[in-house]
């Protein structure tokens, strides 16, 4: 049985309503592009306005300055959001992850395109001994250099307090990690500190490089050696401590590991320090900001003259 036919008047009203909804979505996308509307504000508007609520998340992302189709696809994949999803179909966790992600990656419309441009996009690997502060340097870069695409690794380690799936790591069960290895989805992977497995997701990294992004992997030495085999023309940067004493102090000061784990990490660190000559460049982590600036300039990122 068919639906009752619309009257001419009803058809005109429906067409007008659809046209108004499309215009509202187009206006919202323009505002995102111009930086006058943030992602957070758009998500809030969508709770009141059905036209905005029907905007596809892919279109939302692609409206952001500096985010192309490939980057948008990557972001969706990293956040576990289907490409066809509309704003109103996002779950609470996905909405939070999206906003956090925008903040973490500093994809702020106001800053994304104007601060830094890349003159030599490609792959850079940052490795170094345990507790040298790789994580702190990469967090600083994530928060201050919006044009660096920092890879999010998969790991079997459980999340620490405050860590979010898809933002800090993709947290996987051992079985899920096995499946990634079997499917050839990891560019490299390693057991770190004899405990958990960590690996780089090949497809997201390849897509970001294809998108012209400056990609940074912050991984352990074993992983760096694997990347050297797979991508010999990548840039390899060794992050070194100012001194051994300082490194011990940082390791013990972190306080997130047991005494046994600390001892294990120190043993690993001694071996890792000897690997410096395998790298193209060494950056001394005497000051996080200075080290991050040096790394970013080694990656070919320069202040945008515009
Ligand atoms: P944490 O558990 O403290 O976050 O990281 C422990 C170590 O794992 C760090 O030295 C970090 O560089 C390394 N790591 C993080 N992600 C990866 C990855 O994808 N591959 C490899 N090989 N190591 C990683």
Residue among 154, 195, 198 whose CB has most ligand 1 atoms within 8 A, to mutate:
198
Interatomic CA distance for residues 186 and 200, integer angstroms: 5
For the residues 64-68, what does the mean pLDDT come to? 77
151 lines ligand 1 (CB under 6 A): no
Instruction: Compute CA distances 52 → 25, 57, 85, whole Å.
Output: 6, 11, 13
pTM, entire model = 0.62
pLDDT in tens, 120-169: 568 999 999 877 889 999 999 988 888 899 999 999 999 999 999 998 89
Closest residue CA from atom 11 of ligand 1: 219
pLDDT in tens, 20-59: 889 889 999 988 888 788 888 888 888 888 999 999 999 9
Q: Does residue 284 surpass a pLDDT of 90?
A: yes
**Which of 130, 115, 84 lies closest to 303, judged by CA?**
115
Q: What is the pLDDT of residue 117?
A: 54
Residues in the chain: 306
Q: What is the pLDDT of residue 224?
A: 97
226 lines ligand 1 (CB under 6 A): no
Q: Does residue 112 surpass a pLDDT of 70?
A: no
CA of 128 to the centre of ligand 1 (A): 11
For the residues 58-68, what does the mean pLDDT come to? 84
188 lines ligand 1 (CB under 6 A): yes
CA of 37 to the centre of ligand 1 (A): 36
Q: What is the pLDDT of residue 115?
A: 42
Q: Which atom of ligand 1 is nearest to the CA of 223?
A: 22
């Amino acid at each position: 049985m068919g639906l009752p036919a619309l009257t001419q008047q009803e058809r005109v009203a429906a067409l007008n309503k659809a046209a108004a909804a499309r215009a509202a979505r187009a206006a919202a996308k323009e505002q995102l592009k111009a930086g006058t509307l943030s992602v957070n504000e758009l998500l809030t508007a969508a709770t009141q306005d059905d036209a905005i609520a029907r905007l596809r998340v892919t279109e939302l992302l692609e409206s952001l300055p500096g985010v192309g189709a490939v980057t948008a696809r990557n972001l969706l994949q990293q956040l576990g959001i289907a490409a066809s999803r509309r704003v109103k179909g996002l779950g609470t966790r996905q909405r939070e992850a999206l906003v956090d992600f925008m903040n973490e990656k500093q994809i702020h419309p106001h800053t994304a395109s104007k601060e830094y441009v890349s003159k030599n996009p490609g792959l850079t690997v940052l490795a170094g001994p345990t507790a040298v502060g790789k994580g702190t340097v990469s967090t600083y870069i994530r928060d201050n250099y919006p044009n660096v695409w920092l890879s999010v690794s998969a790991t079997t380690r459980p999340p620490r307090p405050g860590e979010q799936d898809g933002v800090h790591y993709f947290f996987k069960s051992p079985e899920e990690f096995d499946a990634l290895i079997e499917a050839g989805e990891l560019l490299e992977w390693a057991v770190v500190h004899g405990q958990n497995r960590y690996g780089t997701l090949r497809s997201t990294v390849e897509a970001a490089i294809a998108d012209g992004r400056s990609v940074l992997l912050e991984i352990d030495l074993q992983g760096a050696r694997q990347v050297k085999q797979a991508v010999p023309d990548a840039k390899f940067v060794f992050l070194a401590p100012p001194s051994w004493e300082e490194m011990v102090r940082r390791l013990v000061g972190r306080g997130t590991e047991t005494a046994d784990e600390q001892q294990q990490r120190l043993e690993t660190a001694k071996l890792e320090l000897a690997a410096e000559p395998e790298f193209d460049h060494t950056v001394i982590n005497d000051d996080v900001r200075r080290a991050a600036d040096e790394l970013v300039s080694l990656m070919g990122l320069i202040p945008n003259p515009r």
